[in-house]
Structure formats: C-alpha cells, structure tokens
A and B are shown apart, each in its own frame.
Chain A
Amino acid sequence: MGVGALDHERRRIAPPVLVKGSDARWSPDGTRILYFADGEPKGTQIFVRWMDAEGASSQVTRLTETPTDGKWAPTVRRSPS
C-alpha cells in the first residue's frame, strides 16, 4: 500500500505514490507526514517524511512490537505510538 497526497482543489491524486506505507498523518504545521511501514529491526515501524521537494524520510522508531494509531502531538516535536 502506498501513501499519496490528495490534491483537494484539483480533485485528483497527485502524485500517485509518495512512499510505501499506510496510515499517513500530517504534522500540525504541515511540513511532515507520519506513516507506518516495514522497518528495522522487524515489522511495522513509524516513519516521518518531510513534505518538501527533497522528501527525506526517516524511521523514528525501532520497536519490537507493532505500533498502532500514531498521532502527532500539537507541539509537533513528538508523536505517541
């Protein structure tokens, strides 16, 4: 499953796929998305992708259990899992 961005004004999906993952959530300031994808050491992990031209993505958890339902804190700096 891929994470895409819905362009509401143009009524289309653009671009088709940003990254491979699921359950994407915008950060409160709109600069990043949080999403879930397979990572290290095993299974599902939480990733953060910058929503700029470079689109750098990094794995922010290294959990042995599967995180679920991550949400950004309003202060942007942390996300619970």
Chain B
Amino acid sequence: MLVPDSTLWNISLPKPPEGAKWTPAPRVVDDLHYRQDKVGFMQQGFTHLFLAPSDGGTARALTSGRWHVGARFDGLTFGAGYDWTPDGRTIVFDGLRDSTWDRQYQVSRIYTLDVASGVIRALVSRPGCGTTPPSPRRAHRRIHRVRLLGPHAPHVGPVDGGARRLWATRCVADFGPRSGQPALGPGRQGRLLHGPGSRLDQRPVRRPFGRLRDVTQGRSRFAHLAGTHAGRCRRAQRSRARPRRGTDRSAPGASSTRVTAVNDDVLASKRLARVEEVWYTRAAGRGAGLARQAAGVRSGTEVSFDPRDPRRPVLDVHVGFSYMFQNFAATVTWCSTPIRAVAPGTATHSRTPSTTIIRDPTTTI
C-alpha cells in the first residue's frame, strides 16, 4: 500500500477571500521518476507492506522508510512482489531498501522480513532486476525469481540462508531473451513452467540447465502460468481466433481443456474469418514482397501481392499499448475468405519473434 510522502508547497500566500475557491497548490516534484505511461503523474509516496487482521482491525505497517517494496524498472512501478513462506513467519519480497533507489537503474534485491520482529535482511548479495516476484516453496525452502544478471535466468536458493552464509544464487535455466515470465510449480520436483512466447515448457529447477520439453503445441500466447500438485498447469491462453481464455492441461502428454468461456456470448452470433498466416524467409532484395515479420512493415518494406491470387491481403494494424509493443504494430496476413464479421479484439495475427528452444524428446521430467 502506498504511504503518501511529498514535499509541500510552503510558500505562504495571502488567505483567499471568503467563499473563493483557489486552484490547488503546485505539485512539487523532487524525484527523478515522477510519471509513467498510462498513469500520468505517479502517486507521491512509498509502497510498503501492511498486515491486516482478517477479522477486522487496524492494519500494522511491516515496512517503512523512504524506499519501495517492489522491484522497479527504471523507477516505474509494477506492483509489489512478495510472498509468505509456508510457515507464515517470514515474508520474502523484492525492492530496493535504499534511499537512492530513484537514481539506480534496474536494480533490486530480495529481502526477508521476519513478521514477528520486523527484522529485514537482504537475502541475495548481488543486486539484479527482477520481473517476477520471489516465490518461497515448502519443498526445499527455495525461492525463485527472474533476475537480469546476464540473460533472463531464474535462480533458486534457500530462504533462511542469511544466518549461515549469504544466499548463493544458482542459475537453473537460461531461456534467453523473450522468455516471458516463468512460474514455479509446486511439489518436490519444483518444475519450472515457462512460456517463451508461443509454447509452454517445463523443466525441473533442481537440474541446472536441464533440457526443456514442450508441453504444448501450436501457436498461442500464454500468460499467468500456474502449476498444481497433480502436475497440471493452468494458464491464460490467447490464440489468433479467440481472446484470452483459461485452460487447464495435464503436462506433459495430455490435451488442454478449456475451463472458461470468456466472450462466448459476444462471439455467438459472429462468424469469424479463417485466418492464415504466411511465413517465409524473405529473399535478398525486395523481390519477395511480403514481409516475414511485422518489423518488415515497420521498416517500410514494400508489401506487394499478386492480384490474381484469390486470397485477400489484410493489413492488421495493432495500436500498441506502449512503445515496447510497437514491434507488434503491423502484420500482413492473407485471408482466403472475406471477413464477414470480426468482433473487436478477437483476431490477432501477430506473434513474437521466434525463440530458439532446446528440445530433447527423450528427456523425462
């Protein structure tokens, strides 16, 4: 929760006449990072953890000070990453407990908070920049998170390692860029679910740099991965013809089961066009015409097609959410049939750049 903290406009002004309504005092900005895309001016204050009784009562501050709970990307907030250890005595969180946080670029640490005493201890000696919150697990008292020390690489280590020695991080996988956000499955194997763009993989975290194994096929995009003790994985999946939906899959080897019906009522009366993506390696020069990836369109590649081709080209332009998604800005696709009705937001023709995946079908995990 945000604890307000701001510098007040302390220049004394004459009192307003009775009944007059004056404009608010100027906003005093003394932080380097004070605004954010899709937010505007960021709220002035610091994010901290509070403990509230579930049966009502006053919330108690667990952390305080001029620093934030929650790793920040260049000062931008994406929430607070924290979780309880299974015994309920400790909270593991990320952030940067340093008053100079505003001037440190992509730096965060993992801390443990003893709930009873309030003692905060840095768990990891080396700073990094996390994109997923730490996740304590019962089986090995290990935590997991992605740290940008070199490539996107999850690390695991014991939660209570501070007294004996500082936590020695261990890299368990190297997914390379465009890895998406992995999730740690429960159980003693601690399998790591991972969605590198269009596939879902899993690997045991105890096996450093173990082989990846696909547990899904086909093109779709995944988000919000989660695992169950029974070895099933739950995810939000989005494909070209359907918006985001929840799916449940026994991994590996079984088929996916759709468990939610988001927007089915909207799509019930719609007849969606069949979408066909055309992918090929573009020949040297401009002879090939159709761009392989959105980047070709963005860079001004001339898009041409044979007018005798019965298929119809469709330029699908995505209005990017922010600058970082502009690589999805435009994709050219061909439709073999005219689009009769397209519900907004239901046809997505773009995909992320391909990611190299190490696969070994003989691996058992």
Contacts and interface: CB of A to CB of B under 8 A. Distances in A.
Contacts of A59: 56
Given A8-B248, A73-B88, A81 B259 contact: no
B62 interface: yes
Contact of B54 (A12, A34, A67): A34
B259 A11 contact: yes
A77 B86 contact: no
Nearest to B62: A80
Nearest to A75: B88
B4 A60 contact: no
Which of B55, B59, B86 has most A Cβ within 10 Å? B59
A72 interface: yes
Nearest to B70: A69
Given A6-B260, A73-B88, A78 B82 contact: no
Interface string A43-65: 00010100000000011110101
A81 B1 contact: yes
B102 to A, nearest CB: 20
Interface string B74-115: 000001101111111001000000000000000000000001
Interface residues of B, number: 34
Contacts of A63: 1, 59
A17 interface: no
Contacts of B257: 11
Contact of A74 (B59, B86, B248): B86
A63 B56 CA distance: 12
B52 A61 contact: yes
A65 B52 contact: no
A67 B1 contact: yes
A70 B80 CA distance: 10
7 contacts: A59-B56, A63-B1, A65-B1, A67-B59, A68-B1, A81-B1, A81-B51
